[in-house]
Amino acid sequence: MIQKFIIFNFLFSFSWAIGLQGLVIPQSGQILSTTGTGIAGDIDPALNPAMMKTDHPFMQFSLNNWLGDVSGSHTLFRWGNDIQKQVSIQSWSAKDLELWGDSPDERPLGSFGVHWASAAFSISHHFNTPYRFGLKIQTNYSRLFTESLSGITLDAGTVLPLGSSITAAAVIRNIGYEYTNNLRVELPLEGGIGLDIKLPGVKTSVLTDFLYSFDQGKEMRFAFATNWKYLNFNAGRSISDNRNAIAFGFSFNYRSWKINYGIYVHENSAVLGIPKFLDVRRYL
């Protein structure tokens, strides 16, 4: 009975921390460095699947360290002309976690690990309009001991240019199902709107998002991102009742290569650590 209680307790806490929250953990250094701001910024389908047209396909690999010694990787490939497409695979894991009983002991009962993986496909089209519309479908799988959690989610978004310097966008994320032991689990359904204001004189974008999560409530995010030739800088801030954080990072472009690095600082950094993400991109 005690063992079942321990397993259930850790399944709930860690499937939420990775299994479900894996849906909202940033996937790349560029996303991390803006605190996830960029619904209108054409940064990644994870923020808005309505991807803008890109001149060159590319591959990208990310090495990520999230809160509490959770580490992961993210690999993607984007291609297409009028119809933009992207496939991605990501994984998260936490190893050597201490297993404790339901009463105080001097030593843990042992150690264990928890793992989460997902695969996603995104597609975007303009439908002969000035706007872009996109969908992202993602499958998720998490495992702890003999227990598992799996499901499928759908994101939908649109990008609406309002002129040469202002772009608006809207997105809804995590529509779908998650199951554990044939029981349906509620998802962190989230919707948001955003603006991208370009400042041509300094080649910089100012980004702002307003999000509402049925689990976490309201959140405001702000960021800026430069668009210079070789070296660029990003910074962002998120403000909500449950979390206040700042992030910053840089990217370096040279020929067909791009490197992104992001750092995320939050109110519990001393306890949970400071997330750091690194992306390496190759244009084809």
**Phi and psi torsions of 72, nearest 5°:** -165, 180
Question: For 35-63, what is each residue's pLDDT tens digit?
Answer: 999 999 999 999 999 998 888 899 999 99
Summarize pLDDT for 193-223 with one digit per residue, the tens.
999 999 999 999 999 999 998 878 899 999 9
pLDDT at position 66 over 90: no
In the prediction, which pLDDT does 148 show? 77
Per the prediction, the chain carries an average pLDDT of 85
Using CA atoms, how far apart are residues 280 and 178, in angstroms rounded to an integer? 31
| The predicted structure's pLDDT at residue 40 | 97
Distances (CA, A) of 67 to 26, 54, 142, 242, 280: 11, 32, 17, 15, 21
φ and ψ at residue 12, rounded to 5 degrees: -65, -50
| Residue 83 DSSP symbol | S
The per-residue pLDDT for 267 is: 80
Domains, in order of start, for the chain: 2-93+114-283 (2.40.160.40)
Asked if the model's pLDDT at residue 111 lies above 80, the reply is: no
Given a cut of 50, whether residue 65 has pLDDT beyond it is yes
Please tell me the pTM assigned to this model.
0.85
Region 15-38: mean pLDDT is: 75
What pLDDT is attached to residue 109?
Answer: 55
The tens digit of pLDDT for each residue in 171-190 reads 999 998 888 776 677 777 89
Q: Does the pLDDT at position 136 exceed 70?
A: yes
